[in-house]
Chain A
Amino acid sequence: MNTVTLTPKKQSDLYLEVNNITPDMFAGKSTEQIAALPVYVGNTEHPLGEFFTVTGAAGASAAETRIVIKGDSSRLKYIGMKMTAGEIEVEGSADQYVGGWMAGGKIHVQGNVQAFAGVGMRGGELLVDGNAGDYLGAAYRGDWRGMQGGKIYIKGNAGSDLGYFMNGGTIVVDGDVDVFVGTHAEGGTIIIKGNAKSKVGGQMVQGEIYVFGTIDVMLPGYIYRQELEKEVEGMKGKFALFEGDTAERHPKRKGQLQYAKLYLKQ
């Protein structure tokens, strides 16, 4: 695997939109060609090389290309958008939409990520050492197609509206989450190792949520079913199973209504 390193040389006045920083776009290109790729400041186009020094070499394909972004990326939006393979290492923190609509490959952010990380994600892996903002693995504004596949791992805490309209894949948060978890979800797995506040699984149709800590306020649309033994993310324990959200429609399979499952660790 070849590595391309981007070292910032100038900060943009406005946030910089860098949806072209992906292994797919870099693959097979020279450093000069990479430096000529457009990035966006508002509605104006600039060459990537205006803001970054590009060193190293890209691989022949996305899968053979690794990108390292040095320094502070906290004003960069859309890192790794729609990437299908390869790797991105962000040494600092990143702004919104990291890994948005990504279909494969791996992104590692050593700092924090802002809202809409992994939005509409279809595959691959997004690992964040710090905290995540709101709408992690959610759907884009207005859309009903949230995270469809892949895995998101947050070592810190996550904001509100996590897994909004999620349909597949897995989100793991080591820390705590803010309000609204898995709203409108129709599939996928959400694992919260810390605490949740409220509106967990609201209008959720199908899918699974595990909460290892506490939920401040349970939604009234969830019904307690039973206690059971489960192994989740390498941890064994007793969970109380709730099904819901009974305020929402649910599909039938073999004459049985299929609910979303909320497991609360005992």
Chain B
Amino acid sequence: MTEFLIKNGFVFDPTLKIKGDVADVAIKNGKIVETDAVKKPKVIDASGKTVMAGGLEIHAHIAGPKVNVGRIYRPEDKLFNATAGLKATPTHMNTRMEGGFSIPTTYKTGYNYARLGYTTAMEAAMPPLFARHVHEEMRDTPIIDEGAYPVFGNNWFVLEYIKNREINNTAAYIAWLLEATKGFAIKSVNPGGTEAWGWGLNCLQVTDPVPYFDVTPQEITTGLIEANELLGLPHSLHIHGNNLGNPGNYTTTLDTLKAAEGHKAKNKFHREQVLHHTHIQFHSYGGDKWANFESKARPIMDYVNKHKNITVDVGFVTLDETTTMTADGPFEHHLTELNHLKWANVDVELETAAGVVPYVYSPDIFVCGVQWAIGLEIALLSKDPMRCFITTDHPNAGPFTRYPRILKWLMSQKARDEQIKAFKNSDKVVNGSEIASFDRELTLYEVAAMTRAGPAKALGLSHMYGGLKPGLDADVAVYNFNPEKENSPDEIEKAFSTVQYLFKTGEKIIKDGEIVSNGNKRTLWVHAKVEENPQVMRDIEEKFVKYYTVTKGNYEVHGKHFIPNPLAIEVDAT
């Protein structure tokens, strides 16, 4: 394999504690190596440019049935948003046709992450029953390594085991399902609430019992944390809490976070948190109706800052027209009642549900402005960028392709002031939030923590990703950005929109901003070995016979068709 030496760039890497020093990065056999370990490298001149590890997406909806429902029922998302591929135009020599803005095609998803300098992404909600579809789409997403989180928070096995306080059985079932679906982590969406919605109800508080199963969201969350740590999985429980998107929901969020109290991470992957709360922007709302809607980013981040066993990602509102999609079925119904736009809904037998609704985050609407402010406040109030990550909950709060714009807002007070001024109701936005009083501007070192080193550590993948330490995978991004220069907000956005060079496991993917290779994408999954558990295996057989409309043989994800290039993370919980 070719050796590369990326010379004289400004390097930002929290794993090596390098804060913009000029340094060289060497690549050999797919790994980062010491600079004297390469003999005849191809040299990349990175002088005047920024060098970081490849970006790591911890939470996005980029593959599977609900993403595809979005693609199918929103042809307008591709209108004026498509380019020909396969040599039809000279600038697309190595890429296929690309289409879509908020729900891009699989190919465009892979290309766009690469263009932003990202090399790994996690699909945040895999319905186990449709795991095969998720994997087929991930297989067709080039360049980036991917994994998927199966959803557990409304799963009948989990609800029954947790009701009986059978944490060993919960863990054994999780281990079986991770292997059956080739999943990466435990996701829980509106725990209990989505199942309750099957009964026309919801769980808006952590103490609201789930009908029939008679367990509470609090019990589900605690049970899943215990099972996760019993197994010692690389990632923690990954939760989308109850009461998403409603005014005044921040108290529910604090209740959700409290489930982590008293729990300590037990794993061999150097992960420290036991709970990752995703898109916490959607869960940091004050007021008791839309008219007095306000930011509660501060109490949420005060709590997060004080509790080292919690990590969060933000879910920034990007002020775009987008497509919301979540396993939080009742929330999507609520949303379509609000905006009257088209609604798709699916119940996934025994496991979960999903809804899809288009949404326009208009800068003319006061609530959207405050949502925008809350996202930024969360990141700017974070005292530990290794525990607070940049996401848009793509495509829910906006498409991931807006990350460069988010960096602009985070790195420049002037950029924020310009946006505040551009709001139609800027006075109301300022009154409903604290953003106008913030003067913090994130450094690239902090950005590298929030987009690389932090997510890698939280996912238990810091032995592979997130830094430029010799021995790590050679995922390296070179941006045309000189941090020693005075950069205008728009220059920040532009520089991070298209990476100059990108390497993925040592292979050159992007050169001078053009995609030159489709790489060698891998699918990450977690193989957790547990003690034989005849009861759980019998329960699984019985549920397939009694309830599922498919057989177990048609459920499990096996073989090269679904995962041509697997990367199993081994866990021994015996």
Contacts and interface: CB of A to CB of B under 8 A. Distances in A.
A and B form one complex:
yes
Interface of A: 43-45, 139-144, 249
B463 interface: no
A143 B84 contact: no
A43 B341 contact: no
A54 B342 CA distance: 45
A143 to B, nearest CB: 4
Contacts of B79: 140, 143
Contacts of B97: 43
Contacts of B340: 249
Contacts of B199: none
Contacts of B346: none
B18 interface: no
A140 B88 contact: no
A140 B84 contact: no
A142 B84 contact: no
For the complex of A and B, the 9 pairs showing the least CB-CB separation, nearest first, are A143-B76, A43-B84, A142-B75, A142-B76, A141-B75, A43-B88, A140-B76, A142-B74, A140-B79
Q: Does more than half of chain A's interface fall in helix, strand or loop, or is it mixed?
A: loop
Contacts of A142: 73-77, 342
A144 B74 contact: no
A45 B77 CA distance: 23
Given A142-B74, A144-B342, 4 more contacts: A43-B97, A140-B76, A143-B76, A249-B340
Q: Does more than half of chain B's interface fall in helix, strand or loop, or is it mixed?
A: loop
B267 to A, nearest CB: 45
B89 interface: yes
Contact of B341 (A45, A140, A144): A144
A44 to B, nearest CB: 6
Contacts of B74: 142
Nearest to B73: A142
B76 A141 contact: yes
B117 to A, nearest CB: 28
A251 B76 CA distance: 26
A140 B342 contact: no
Interface string B56-75: 00000000000000000111
A249 B343 CA distance: 15
A140 B341 CA distance: 15
Nearest to B341: A144
Q: Which of A44, A45, A143, A249 has the most CB of B within 10 A?
A: A143
Nearest to B340: A249
A101 to B, nearest CB: 9
15 contacts: A43-B97, A44-B84, A44-B88, A45-B89, A139-B76, A140-B75, A140-B76, A141-B76, A142-B75, A142-B76, A143-B76, A143-B79, A144-B341, A144-B342, A249-B340
A139 B79 CA distance: 12
A186 to B, nearest CB: 9
A223 to B, nearest CB: 22
A142 B103 CA distance: 14
A257 to B, nearest CB: 15
A45 B88 CA distance: 8
A45 B76 CA distance: 23
Contacts of A139: 76
A133 to B, nearest CB: 19
Interface string B69-104: 000011111010000100011000000010000000
A14 B358 CA distance: 34
B172 to A, nearest CB: 44
Q: Which of B75, B76, B88 has the most CB of A within 10 A?
A: B76
Contacts of B77: 142
Contacts of A43: 84, 88, 97
A140 B78 CA distance: 11
Nearest to A144: B341
Interface string B89-131: 1000000010000000000000000000000000000000000
Nearest to A40: B84
Contacts of B89: 45
A144 B360 CA distance: 12
Contacts of A249: 340
Contacts of B75: 140-142
Interface in B332-368: 340-342, 358
A81 to B, nearest CB: 10
A141 B71 CA distance: 12
A121 to B, nearest CB: 15
Contacts of B84: 43-44
Nearest to B88: A43
Contacts of B342: 142, 144
Contacts of B73: 142
B113 to A, nearest CB: 24
A43 B341 CA distance: 32
A143 B79 CA distance: 10
A249 B339 CA distance: 12
Contacts of A143: 76, 79
A227 B73 CA distance: 41
A161 to B, nearest CB: 15
A194 B341 CA distance: 33
Q: Which of B75, B79, B89, B342 has the most CB of A within 10 A?
A: B79
Interface string B522-560: 000000000000000000000000000000000000000
